[in-house]
Each structure stands twice: as structure tokens, then as C-alpha cells.
Amino acid sequence: MPKMKTKSSAKKRFKITATGKVRSSQAGKQHGMIKRSNKQIRNQRGTTIMSDPDARIVKKFMPYG
């Protein structure tokens, strides 16, 4: 059987942790920071762990982790 291909878009945006969870960048941080509150900007630093239903979809795109 041929190997499955990883979706290039998912490869660039997500990482799989050692325990199998999906790590992604925070949503809503690309532009328009002036209209966001300082608290929201502060809480959206770094990365976050995706929820299980969303992570299941992403894992289908990345068959080899």
C-alpha cells in the first residue's frame, strides 16, 4: 500500500505533543489588536491545546504525527 500524505496546511499549523494532544497557536491574534482588550491579548500569548473534537479532525490530516 502507498503511504498516506500529510496535509501541508496542517503540518505548518499544528504539532502533536508526546501524549498525543494537538498544540496550536491562539486564535484571534493575527490582526486588529487595537480593538482587543489588554486582558485578551495577554491571555492569548503562546500556544494552546486544542479541544478533543477539533483535535480528532486535525489528527486525520497528520497520519504520522
Domain ranges within the chain, ordered by starting residue: 8-61
Please answer whether residues 61 and 10 qualify as being in contact, where contact means their C-beta atoms are separated by less than 8 angstroms. yes
**pTM of the full structure:** 0.82
Determine contact, residues 22/51, Cβ cutoff 8 Å. Answer: no
Given a cut of 90, whether residue 63 has pLDDT beyond it is yes
Judge whether residue 1 has pLDDT over 90.
no
- How confident is the model at residue 37, as a pLDDT? 96
Is residue 65 very low, low, confident or very high in pLDDT (cuts 50, 70, 90)? confident
Are the C-beta atoms of 29 and 44 separated by less than 8 Å? yes
| CATH 4.10.410.60 correct for 8-61 | yes
Q: Specify whether the CB–CB gap between 32 and 52 falls below 8 A.
A: no
| pLDDT confidence of residue 23 | 97
Q: Stretch 35-39: mean pLDDT, rounded?
A: 96
